[in-house]
Chain A
Amino acid sequence: MNFFQLLTDLEQADPEFLDRINPRRRVFQYLGNAGQKVTAAAVPAVLASFFNRAYGQTSSTLTAPVQAVLTLALQLEYLEFHFYNTGLGIAGLLPSQETPAITTIRNDEAGHIKALRDVLGSAAPAPYLVTDFDYSGGSGSGTGPMQNALIPGAPGNANGALYFAAGQAFSDTGQRAYKGGAPTLNTAATKDILEAALNIHSVEARHNSHFRSVRRALVANSLGSAGAVAVSPYDAAPKSWISLVDNNGPTAPDGSKPATKVYGAGSPATGTPDASYPAENNVSQAGVDLTTLNSTYSAAAVSEAFDEPLDPATVKSIALLFTSNAGKAKGLFQ
């Protein structure tokens, strides 16, 4: 078998062949390694790997930990996608000023779903449906503390206030989950996947910033402007960043704090930066208490300057509150 002739033939038959193998430059590293190590007997396996990279069935080359991170990310994207998509379809739920933003956010999540499904390939789960989720936060009861979030004008939900509170909690869960998953994606073979995940992570943070601006505007009665003041303790009129634990996040109509775990510590709470999941009010980074560096660096300011990762188990325990029995039967967030 003439390996190099095959590549040449493939490129003639499919001019984009080399471009499909991503990134292009790694092809040459790969070939270099192949030249050193690959015996004739191993050539079919190398070729199979090439075809997988080139034509999208990448799952066979992903390790189980990488697949797990991407699958959880995909499930979270479906949680968000269906929430925003459903909200857009309910007349009178959203103030008109926010329809464009929720549309954009919904579309971004759809793009994330596409990106994650593409990289997971045949390992991607079947698409999750809106009925796989329980947006009341009732773990399948349908009567959880956030049940008014999709009901126009229901108690606590004037101008979609509860809907935006849920959006804030979902996107903060998302950004913390991606942060927690990034180290697992940092392998030599998955640098492009890591960069894609980072590029999704920052978009989740941008979404979250907007949700927070909307919630400030609701309190200040200035919808359509990001220039409303934040009001301490930031659970109802938050800053665009997380200050300490934002007083445990939004308050539900029943007085409960359904997002407490979104801003709390994961497990373990202490350890090295890539394997510990402190609460959002953390003031120590890499072993340095940053409030000691300058007298103006308050605990609040330091906590705001860093977002914290969450571990998969804690992320799932939060997301399971928003999973229906149908979703659980499919293994969603299990």
Chain B
Amino acid sequence: MPTPFPSEPQLHEAEPDQPLYAPIKRRSFFMYAGATAGATALVLAGCSKSDSSPGTIDVGSGDAGILNYAYALEQLEAAFYAQIKTGAYYTGLGATSAEKQIFDDLALHEAIHRDFLRAALRANSITPLKDLTPDFSSINFGDRSQVLAAAQTFEDTGVAAYNGAGRFLTSNANLALAGKIVSVEARHAALIRDLRSYNSFVASDVVNTFTPTIPATGVYSGEGNPNTTPNTQGNGNPGPGQERSKRPPQILQAVNNFLANGSKLSANSFA
């Protein structure tokens, strides 16, 4: 049975789901505007509406929405590492082993991120998202390979999420704070990847890798090809040598697999 976290006594009010006030997503709007495929547009708009079905908590809109989105992700990461520390894989590690050192640090970093974001939300008079209840039932915390695989998923997801959310921030102070966190998530992700498979720290599933053609003269002005065609629209491919950022709804689709019913999230303002 998953337990709520963090074990703080204060009650947090959930951001209410507000389907009536939710702005029509731009994509849907253009489907309407396109008009020639009106029937299709109606069907698709109906589908997108189900994102905010009863039981999901929308992170909200604007900078407050992105901060709460980040807070949700950090809650999940912090809970994940806290649970690792109670599992047989971690408790079996030697006291001076590298992996104990690493997971001790990761657990601290993510708990610090979580608590910082909660404090920052309150300082800005934004109601923090409620304490989410994770569901890690798909992970065997006694098995090293499963723990590392899940850690990689959470860290890679965190990097893609912050990178894809930055554009929605209006406040440069908030953008700067997100930037301070995301590079640490990237450090985590790269290390976990290298632990699982050496030299996978920037593999092509997370980075649009690039094959340069370097002239013998050494005068290099960008010749070469990325392994997938760059297309930065929506959730498309990034430019050459760049991380594959993802928009909040795409991130939450994956993240919701690790959240219990009643804690599942939507981000309808950030398509």
Contact = CB atoms under 8 A, between A and B. Distances in A.
B221 A209 contact: no
A40 interface: no
A123 to B, nearest CB: 14
A129 B208 CA distance: 25
Interface of B: 26-27, 30, 33, 96-99, 101-102, 105, 108-109, 111-113, 115-116, 119-120, 123, 159, 162-164, 166-167, 169, 172-177, 179-191, 194-195, 198-199, 201-202, 207-212, 214, 218-224, 226, 230-234, 238-245
A179 B240 contact: no
B175 A127 contact: no
27 contacts: A82-B218, A110-B212, A114-B210, A114-B223, A114-B240, A117-B222, A127-B220, A179-B180, A195-B238, A201-B183, A203-B243, A205-B187, A213-B194, A216-B98, A229-B98, A272-B176, A273-B176, A273-B180, A285-B177, A285-B180, A286-B173, A297-B115, A301-B105, A304-B105, A305-B181, A305-B184, A307-B179
B186 A195 contact: no
Contacts of B223: 114
Contacts of A288: 116, 119-120, 123
Q: Majority SS of interface residues in chain B?
A: helix
A110 B210 CA distance: 7
A114 B224 contact: yes
Contact of A108 (B112, B202, B214, B234): B202
A227 B112 contact: no
A293 B177 contact: no
Interface string A105-122: 111111111110110000
Interface in A177-214: 178-179, 182-183, 186, 191-192, 194-196, 198-210, 212-213
A111 B224 contact: yes
Contacts of B214: 85, 110
Q: Majority SS of interface residues in chain A?
A: helix
Contacts of A209: 186-191, 194, 201
Nearest to A24: B233
Nearest to A124: B221
A175 B183 contact: yes
Given A85-B214, A182-B175, A290-B112, A206 B220 contact: no
Contacts of B189: 206, 209
A287 B214 CA distance: 47
Interface of A: 19, 22-25, 28, 81-82, 85, 100-101, 104-115, 117-118, 127, 129-130, 175, 178-179, 182-183, 186, 191-192, 194-196, 198-210, 212-213, 216, 224-230, 239-241, 272-274, 285-288, 290, 293-294, 296-298, 301-302, 304-309
A118 B210 CA distance: 15
Contact of B116 (A81, A206, A293): A293
Most buried by A among B109, B163, B167, B187: B187
Nearest to A224: B198
Contact of A301 (B109, B180, B208, B239): B109
Closest A-B pairs by Cβ, 9 of them: A111-B241, A111-B210, A111-B240, A114-B222, A110-B212, A226-B194, A199-B242, A209-B190, A205-B186
B265 to A, nearest CB: 22
B224 A110 contact: yes
A129 B120 contact: no
Contacts of B232: 22-23, 192, 195-196
B79 to A, nearest CB: 15
B245 to A, nearest CB: 5
